[in-house]
Structure 1
Amino acid sequence: MTPCFGDYSFAQNTQDEEITEDDRTEVVRKVRFTGNRNVGNRTLSTLVRTRTNREFLGIPRFTPWYYIHNVFGVGESPALLNRETVSNDMDRIRLYYENLGFFEVEVDTTIIEYRSERFEVSFLIREGPMSKIRSVSYTGLPEFDDERLKRDFFSDSYFSGNSIDDSTFSVNEQYKAQELRNEQSRILSFLRDNGYASVQRDSVRALVKQSDQDPQTLDILYSIRPGGFYSFGDVYIKLSGPEGPNGFDESKTIDFPQNSEPGFSIYMEKQDDAQTRFELLANQIMFTPGERYSQSDYLRSINAFQNLGMILINRFGLSEDSSLPDYSRPDIPVYFDLQTLPKHSLRAEFFGMRRYGFGTGAGVNYTNNNLFGRAENFSVSVSGNIEFVTSRARPIGGSTIFRTFEARTEYSLPRLNFPFGRLEDRSWVESSRTFYTLSYSQSSQEFFDVNSDIRLNLRYEIAHSQRLRSFLDLIELVVIDTDPSSDFRENLILQFTDFDDDGEPTETPEEVLNKFEVQRILEDFRPQFSSIIRYTFRSQNTNLIKRNFGYFSEFSVAAGGNIPYLMDRFLVGSGEVDGTISLPLGIFPSELGYSRFFKFSADYRRYLPISPNAVFAFRMFGGYALPYGGSESLPLNRRFFAGGSNDIRGWSPFRLGPGAIPETEVTVPGGEVKLAAFTEFRQIFMRNVLNAQWHIAWHTDAGNVWYGPRNKFLDEDDQDILEEGRFSFDTFYEQIAVSTGLGLRLDWEFLVARFDFTFRAHDLERGWFNDPNMYFSFGIGHSF
């Protein structure tokens, strides 16, 4: 029997070999693979270092960046042939196949100059027979006092299934070295979490035995040497202030006696200017000194300090000098050297923006990151911006300037407060935070102006793991006062004015505004009081800046309007529940309307690497809101809208829909139903220009918003004036707006600048491919 684990250099060898001067005219234009029945060409292409120039949209030999370089000297330099690299690629392919159980694989290559200075490199692969794992067994597992630990060990195995006996599984699957490595890592983690702290990689070996009857049939035996059993020893925590360690002013010890005998302790020291309570430091230790050693609890303690947001971890370890632990003792001490960040910070920012037009803004933010000595974060910010919008960019009215102002204060704690404080110690809570937020804003928009928007929010955030998070907005109260914009009001008057045969109006603007339909529309802009309780679950496995692999998903369910309803019924109402309330003590000068509703949304995004330099991404979004309890519509600020640089490009924010209603005829903005789909193909065509990776992107967006079935709006003749914008399974697919275009991405390490040039492929007013205008949008970060 021989060990199957070893050093696989192909997985780490990422250095490009030097190209000699003599080879500079030998350009690789084709790379082929033959004989690879069990491994795809795309997989092998990402494995080898011999490559052609980047192909646009995956079209073979279509390399525009290389052609641009030949003509103008900028773009992508030619991919030159290096025979040493080809030889190394043969080894990479061979090792890859051996890791998949093809131990008799043979790899050869041919290099053909099919045209002057143009070469084709072919890798000829003879795979040979594939080996299979017949069984996996274990020996050397230590005895546990708790029999459940042994059951958990076997049930969590990557090979658990049909049991031959109490330590052997029948597998009958293809040999894959990576799965064996994964099982080795699982065994090591299991042992370290159950007291066996000294285990190393070579403490668990997978031994391979070939069958006498069939050499391709393998039996795997995991040989385990767990070493000694250990417990946590004393814990030493030193906390210095922002200036760094220079002696400590206070100390505290917390003792943990063992069976009435002197036991272990947490020893803490800190400087006065750290301004942090000892209680906070002790609460971040996720284990008890003297209990069984657990690597997971040790790492959770490290993460707990990091999640405080006001501490730097200068050093942590299982020995005082950061060397290997002393395994000659039965207990292992733990050391933390910490340093607080500066408590106060003041930041000013100036920024450019583009929403409807081009604008600029400024803001200032003050932060206290340790308000009361328990990592409480308090911040106050003020910001404002102005945006110039041309008449061409507006469906109604001429050029104008939009203004926005916001003041915001936030208080947060790195733990769950009442009523969820008892959940802190649950196994599914990795870290948590509680937020209290109060904000005030004013803004001018296309269809309406927000005179005041006051929000109070209580939010709980829980990280279940690196991928999974939950958000609970337990209380979100909003008082919003809006007015229809002057241009919207004028357009409304024009739309509902009756004209005689000569085209002259037969009624005054005042008479039009007193019409039933117009009054009903203007009711939409009355001051509103809304509340919401919302739960959001998020799962992600991607880099949120690069977004070049994995997925992102978010699902949300909410119920709104119940707090003002209860106030109307039991506290400040007149006894009749009519959808309006008056706040006591003149807190708000007029009556406030409210609506009760349910709201659901689902957002799924996937990022598929299709080559080392290209990614195909898609996003699906669906949302539905349903008024209930006598309410017929949603508050203006709770509806779905469509359009914008991060939504369906080609339409400005809030400008698309509902349904097939033209932009200039929208009387009730937003909708209760939203469907949208987005795709984007991104490919790098220049590297390290201005320290950024330059991507070209081709995007296609589709979607719309619609009124829901309960949003009825009958005129004096009992006709539904919203019918053209209502969702219907018979017609909604005809009301899907579609846009497509090209864009540029400048990708720095922590920032992506986005420029998109979009055409409306399906304009709901003009039809398919009848709008020749190009629409520009700019954004920070990928659109999805």
Structure 2
Amino acid sequence: MIKHLRYLIILSLFISACSTTKYVPEGEKLYTGSSVKVIDSAIKKSDAKAISSELNATVRPQPNSSILGLRVKLWFYFKTRARKGFIQKFFSKFGEPPVYISQVDLEKNSSIMQNRLQNESYFQSTVRGDTIGKKKTAKAEFTVNAGPSYTIRNVEFPMAKDNSLDTAVLGTMKETLLKKGEKYNLDIIKSERIRIDARLKEEGFFFFAPEQLIIKVDSTIIDHQVDLTVSIKPTTPERAREIYTIRDIYVYPNYSLRDTSLKLDQASGYRWYKLVDPRKTVRPFIFANTVLLHPNDTYSRTTHNNSLNRFINLGPYQYVKNRFEDVTPDSPKLDVYYFLTPYKKKSLQLELLGRTTSASYTGSQINLNWKNRNAFKAGELLTVTLFASTDVQVGGNNGGFNVYQYGIQPSISWPRIISPFNFKSDNAYIPRTTLTLNYTSVVRSKLYSLNSFSGSFGYSFKGSVHKLNELNLLEITYVKPRNVSQLYLDSINNPNNRNPALKHVIDPQFTWGPSYAYTYDNTTEDYRTNSIFYRGKLSLSNNLYGIISGADTLGGNPKKFLGSTFNQYLKLETEMRFFHKLGLGSKFAARLFAGIGQPYGNSTILPYNQQFFIGGPNSLRGFRARSVGPGSVDASALNGGFIADQSGDIKLEANLEYRAKLFSIVYGALFADAGNVWNAKPHQAGGTFGTNFLKQMAVDAGFGLRFDATVLVLRTDVGFPLLTPYINSSGGRSVPLSFNNAILNIAIGYPF
């Protein structure tokens, strides 16, 4: 009791010390906020609450900020204003000057509220403001008599005439935002004008503007209704009434601000556009997928904007400037000019990176990137990357088995589909063809070293801003061990603790085949309350060749290609992420991942580089990275000098996380994870997927902090294992909730 009393006294002294009202000068009162009261009994309670909340947000100025009733920033201001030197300079930036009730203009705020109500159908509304004061503080109170709301009875559009503009406006009526029976709203009327203008821009009315539309309101109708009439202002200029078509299109692929002449005498025609490129910096066909407008086409804003976006996506160009010129001799015509400012063609970039990996490794990487934009004068991006890295596992049972990698990766990307088939795309995104090659040497000290060769050829194309399609016609991977230590061989051959995962790591891997991935992502749109990310991928390896050759490992008939045994499988991955905003700075996040690989024919298990792993800072955070599974296998019981990465052909994982802003750049999180991996075919006792898979799910929960500096997110998570997929030392699957069992994860970026 005495101990609690001591804490209460300390808290009381702290609150007293943080009091700010004692600094308020005579004749002033500290402004503590406002309230809005709707007194009209005819207004529904839900509407009155919405009106009160909306109007209260318009009151200016806002009161001093507070935390749990303590005006900390104001306290800093008062405490540092009379000080000089370092202390004042340091703490003054945390201060906030006082807001007094005398600064609140009741009449002006009331007028703003009344205007807002009238714009939202309450034409007869009145607002009155007053102050309620105490000894040193005061608040503003506004009383609202909203009156009846006015609803829309009829909406009239101009009649169809010989005049093409009236007819075009009438043609937009079906999609009108002005609905009969809904409340009058000025913002919706403004949006309606913008909507009509956008539609007219698609039909060639290049010089039309929203301001040339007028929507008349007749509020003399009985029963608090209004009639709306959409019409074109009589003062609308003649050229705003004309439908414009395209005459000539000029592209300047090497433009700079020093260029002051159009140089039309140097233009050379290619198909439907003309190039002004005296220095021959590009081949003419480079813009065939970019210039979407054609001569004699009716002007369309969407087509024009898509062209601009494609010029930027083309790759070689840093800036795009566009101009339309009215060249009307006998009929409305436009000439189009595209002025393109290129990047420097070649660049060399050195990158030094700190990183964490999914296996709890931390380390550094150096990349030397050489780029050639417009390598062959048709928008190609040629890239050559040299890289080297070193990774050390923190907190794992690695015993000094660090990982070193080095290699080279050349790639070339074409801004078009290279295919014998005709591929037509006219949206805002350029399809691309990409060829990538890669060589990587992987050295795990004291254990083994591998050579890895890979390559891919395929396409990527966006259906919209949210949808991405990636089709690789061919993906090839060849991995072969270069050196294996005796320590590692002894671990594999240990008769007392056999772990098939150890041998599988160094098995030769030879895969080739196509893959297709589809991604939908609207999470970049911050205004959404709910957003989702979805990615699905299908990968195949040697399916057709394996069938033709009659490959059958189980039947004792494995086949080879170019002297190497190849892998044969079908693999499907799908991932869904869901985000729900709960309030300012807080959200709920969920992820579900399911993947299955089916080896057959020439394979009984997926190649190691195609298998699934689980556990670690981006997965099950209550378990060591890649230490879970397959199935009910206990990796810690397989003592081969270290815990090998556990893998499987099948994976199920679910994650839930609550994220909330604490202060400044610091965010907190509560999370729970569940999942496991399994083999598709029997290789280890308890490791095969079966009907009891739910009983083999590992489960954890925990909390963490995120330091989100926008360009970099540093994350710390503490995960507690709750259920193991195997019978643990306690004789069951449950794990006591204790910090002795906790796993600390330090990583960069959010887990999903």
Contact 2:404 2:443 in 1 (8 A): yes
**What code does the residue aligned with 2:99 have?**
L
1:702 aligns with 2:675: no
Match of 1:477 in 2: 476
Q: Which residue of 1 aligns with 2:574?
A: 601
The alpha-carbon deviation at position 440 of structure 1 amounts to 2.2
**Deviation, structure 1 residue 52:** 5.7
Please name the residue that 1:560 is paired with. 540
- Aligned-pair distance for 1:382? 1.4
Instruction: Quote the residue 1:348 is aligned against.
Output: 350
CA drift of 1:348 comes to: 0.7
1:251 aligns with 2:295: no
- Give the counterpart letter for 2:508 in structure 1: P
The 5-angstrom pairing of residues 595-674 of structure 1 reads: 595-606=568-579, 608=581, 610-611=583-584, 614-627=585-598, 629=600, 633-649=605-621, 651=623, 653-657=625-629, 662=634, 664-665=636-637, 668-670=646-648, 672-674=650-652
**What are the equivalent positions in structure 2 for 1:440-455 lying under 5 Å apart?**
440-443=439-442, 451-455=450-454
Per the alignment, residue 249 of structure 2 pairs with: 235
CA distance in 2, matches of 1:483, 1:112: 83
2: CA distance, partners of 1:656 / 1:113: 64
Answer yes or no: is the 8 Å Cα contact 2:362–2:391 preserved in 1. yes
Amino acid paired to 1:103: F
- For the pair 1:389 / 2:360, whether they are aligned, the reply is no
| Compared CA separation, residues 403 and 523, structure 1 to 2 (3 A) | closer
Normalised by the length of structure 1, the TM-score is 0.74
1:397–1:729 Cα change, 3 Å: closer
Distance 1:658 1:245, change over 3 A: farther
Q: Which residue of 1 aligns with 2:457?
A: 458
CA deviation vs aligned residue, 1:129-158 (integer Å, no higher than 9, x gap): 333223333215666999x98997444444
CA 1:224–1:174: 2 relative to 1, 3 Å: same
User: Which deviates more, 444-453 or 661-670?
Assistant: 444-453
1:201 aligns with 2:187: no
After superposition, the C-alpha distances for 1:447-504 in whole angstroms (9 at most, x for unaligned) are 99671332222232222333333333333222234699989959966xxxxxxxxxxx
8 Å Cα contact 2:630/2:677 also seen in 1: yes
| Structure 1: distance between partners of 2:125 and 2:487 | 73
Cα gap change, 1:731 to 1:482, in 2 (>3 Å): farther
Structure 2 distance, partners of 1:771, 1:491, is 35
Q: Structure 1 residue 308: deviation in Å?
A: 0.9
- 2:217 aligned partner, one-letter code: V
CA distance in 1, matches of 2:613, 2:127: 57
Q: Is the 8 A contact 2:702 2:717 kept in 1?
A: no
**1:411 and 2:412 aligned:** yes
* Cα distance change, pair 30–47 in 1 and its aligned pair in 2 (3 A): closer
Distance 1:238 1:439, change over 3 A: same
> Quick check: 1:220 aligned with 2:228?
yes
Q: Tell me how far apart the structure 2 counterparts of residues 28 and 334 of structure 1 sit (CA, whole Å).
A: 58
Which sits farther off after the overlay, 189-198 or 602-611? Answer: 602-611
Cα distance in 1 between the residues matched to 2:444 and 2:140: 59
CA distance in 2, matches of 1:220, 1:744: 53
Deviations 1:628-656 (A, max 9, x none): 65665433333333344444545554345
AA in 1 matched with 2:650: E
> Please, which of 653, 663, 686 is the counterpart of residue 721 of structure 1?
686
8 Å CA contact 2:620, 2:675 repeated in 1: no
Partner of 1:754: 714
Instruction: Kindly provide the amino acid, as one letter, of the partner of residue 775 in structure 1.
Output: L
- Structure 1 residue 206 displacement after superposition: 2.2
Q: How far 1:685 sits from its partner (Å)? A: 3.4
**Residue 81 (str. 1) matches residue 99 (str. 2):** yes
Match of residue 313 from structure 1: 319
> 1:574/1:711 Cα in 2 relative to 1: closer, same or farther (>3 Å)?
closer
Contact 1:712 1:722 in 2 (8 A): yes
Q: Which residue of 2 aligns with 1:500?
A: none
Q: Which residue of 2 aligns with 1:522?
A: 503
1:687-716 superposed Cα distances (whole Å, 9 cap, x missing partner): xxxxxxxx21112333243235844335xx
CA contact (8 A) 1:363 1:383 kept: yes
Give 1:722's aligned amino acid. G
Q: What is the deviation of 1:275?
A: 2.0
- 1:601 deviates by 0.8
Query: Closer, same or farther in 2 for the Cα pair 1:178/1:471, shift >3 Å?
Result: farther
* Equivalent in the alignment of 2:121: 101
Gaps of 5+ in 2: 1-23, 39-44, 80-89, 234-239, 638-642, 729-733
Displacement of 1:306 in angstroms is 1.2
1-structure distance, mates of 2:506, 2:381: 36
Cross-structure match for 1:431: 430
Q: Distance in 1 between matches of 2:615 and 2:594?
A: 15
- 1:421 deviates by 4.1
Q: Give CA deviations for 1:727-753 in whole Å, capped at 9, x if unaligned.
A: 846536x63222212232223xxx133
1:731 corresponds to which letter in structure 2?
K
- 1:679 paired to 2:657: yes
Give the secondary structure class of the aligned counterpart of 1:423: coil
1:37 aligns with 2:46: yes
Is the alpha carbon distance of 1:629 and 1:759 closer, same or farther for their aligned partners in structure 2, counting shifts above 3 Å?
closer
C-alpha distance in 1, partners of 2:466/2:335? 31
Contact 1:387 1:401 in 2 (8 A): yes
- For 1:504, the equivalent position in structure 2 comes to none
Counterpart check, 1:775 vs 2:738: no
Q: CA deviation at 1:672?
A: 1.5
Conserved 8 A contact 2:679-2:687: no
In structure 1, what is the equivalent of residue 565 of structure 2?
Answer: 591
Partner of 2:286: 280
Deviations along 1:579-629, whole A, 9 cap, x unmatched? Answer: 854331x5xxx534x242241313224252723xx2425132222315265
Looking at structure 2, the residues matched to 447 and 328 of structure 1 have their Cα atoms a distance apart, in angstroms, of: 83
Amino acid at match of 1:452: N
1:439 to partner: Cα distance: 1.7
1:401–1:659 Cα change, 3 Å: same
Q: Matched residues, percent identical?
A: 16
The Cα shift of 1:755 comes to 3.6
2:306 & 2:173 partners in 1: Cα distance? 25
The equivalent residue for 1:499 is none
CA contact (8 A) 1:605 1:619 kept: yes
Q: Deviations over 1:101-121 (max 9, x none)?
A: 33344444555556745x555
Pairing partner for 2:183 from 174, 177, 182: 174
Distance in 2, matches of 1:82 and 1:639, equals 65
Q: Compared with structure 1, are the counterparts of its residues 451 and 54 closer, same or farther at alpha carbon in structure 2 (3 Å cutoff)?
A: farther
- The whole-number CA distance in structure 2 between the counterparts of 1:195 and 1:53 is 53
- Call closer, same or farther: CA 1:572–1:228 in 2, change over 3 Å: same
Pair 1:658–1:420, CA change in 2 (3 A)? farther
Deviations 1:131-188 (A, max 9, x none): 3223333215666999x989974444446xxxxxxxxxx6322334343333322211
Whole-angstrom distance in 2 between the partners of 1:639 and 1:26: 69
**What 5-or-longer segments of structure 1 have no aligned partner?**
1-20, 160-169, 257-264, 494-508, 687-694, 715-719
Structure 1 SS opposite 2:46? coil
Does 2:270 correspond to 1:269? no
- Quick one: distance in 2 between partners of 1:244 and 1:579? 71
**Residue number in structure 2 paired with 1:401:** 402
- CA RMSD, Structure 1 to Structure 2 (Å): 4.6
Whether the 8 Å CA contact 1:52–1:79 is kept in 2: the answer is no
Cα 1:376–1:171 change in 2 (3 A) is same
* Gap change, CA 1:73 and 1:520, over 3 Å in 2: closer
